[in-house]
Amino acid sequence: MKQIPASLLTLVAGIVITLISFWVGSHNNLLPIQASTAAPAVDSIFNVMVIIGTALFIIVEGAILYFAIRYRRPKDDDSDGVPLEGNLQLEIFWTAIPAIIVIGLGVYSVDVYREMGGLSVGEHAMHSSMMMGQASSTLVAQAPSDVVSDVPTLLADASDDDASTAKYGFGAAPGAEEQAPDVVVNVTGMQFAWLYEYPNEDDLMTAELHIPVNKDVQLNLEATDVIHSFWVPAFRLKQDAIPGKPTQLRFVATRPGTYDVVCAELCGSYHGGMRSEVIVHTEEEYQEWLVEEMEYAMGSNDEGAIASASAALPVDTTQLSTAEYLAPYSEEWGVSPTHLPQHDHHSGHHGM
């Protein structure tokens, strides 16, 4: 039988590996549903990395298996292996290929990041500090010493002004920098809950995030205690909430539904329970929800509003009467709450 040339075998192997890798990359099914404009861009770079990873896996593991079988030690062969040392061409080759891959992925990821608005947040802050830089250098160049001494004060003022605007996070999509967002929600992370406040809706407060579909939404994130991270896997978006440093997350949800919000920064003993939901409504549903919530909040009496709001919010157990505190357990024990001890004098709500 005539020997098949090695170059031909390599070519065929290369084609087969490429086809398998592309197939695995585009059918990996590893990611959740896509529910924001950022998701397709993030998924495409993820899939490219899976394609490259699959090819490398097949080549490396394939070579190990092939060599282990093809060059296994024959029976009764106790001789040494062939001494091999150094191969400059091979070393250049296996340094250059990963370098090209890593640089390519780096450029690609910056492009995806830009598309998501990662480069447009804090533009105001950047502009003003750049302008200050110019102003101060002209002052230094032309002015007498008393003006120059004012420069640090001017710079300090500028940075004070910027303290209230987020410099970190995700801003408007490219081309939409001049447009104001359709919906603004202030998000506060605390041990161990997310709180949502709608500044344009009479500071309405909720424990889940409600937003309309296909609208430009801006979240202003902050934290009251430690660093938390606001992560919506279905949106492919994650942004830290940092005490004292406001951050921003601007996005467009593209699919109505209910999606998980997960805290992705280890923030204490109940970090694992720091979950919430984002509900993406159609425009009409969102307006209906708003009206309903506003009616709730401004309800016939204030106590009712507080009760309905607090039902959804984390409970401060120190403010509860004994009967209220035990109510969830009494059901489990088969005891009527009215039979529970009523030691404290303010247990006026017992039996509810």
Give the residues lining the site for Cu ion (CB under 5 A): 228, 263, 267, 274
Tell me if 38 sits within 8 A of 236, measured CB to CB: yes
Closest CA to 245 of 279, 278, 221, 216: 221
- Taking the complex as a whole, how short is the minimal distance between the CB of residue 33 and Cu ion, in angstroms? 24
Least gap, CB of 171 to Cu ion (angstroms): 23
* Residue 245: CB minimum distance to Cu ion, A: 16
Question: Are the CB atoms for 139 and 145 separated by under 8 Å?
Answer: no
Half-sphere exposure for 335 (CA within 13 Å, toward CB): 12
C-beta closer to Cu ion: residue 221 or 297: 221
Residue 281: CB minimum distance to Cu ion, A: 26
Whether residue 132 contacts residue 155, with contact meaning beta carbons closer than 8 Å, is answered with yes
Nearer to Cu ion, 189 or 337 (CB): 189
The C-alpha atoms of residue 70 and residue 337 are separated, in whole angstroms, by 76
**The two structure tokens encoding residue 115:** 């598309």
The residue (of 252 and 267) whose beta carbon lies closer to Cu ion is 267
- In angstroms, what is the minimal distance from the CB of 261 to Cu ion? 11
Q: How far apart are the C-alpha atoms of 130 and 158, rounded to whole Å?
A: 11
DSSP 318: G
CA distance 41 to 108: 10
Least Å from the CB of residue 161 to Cu ion: 30
Reference 58, options 19, 21, 101; nearest CA is 21
Distance CA 112, CA 94 (A): 27
Residue among 81 and 273 whose Cβ is closer to Cu ion: 273
Q: Which lies closer to Cu ion via its Cβ, residue 217 or residue 274?
A: 274
Residue closer to Cu ion by CB (options 228, 281) is 228
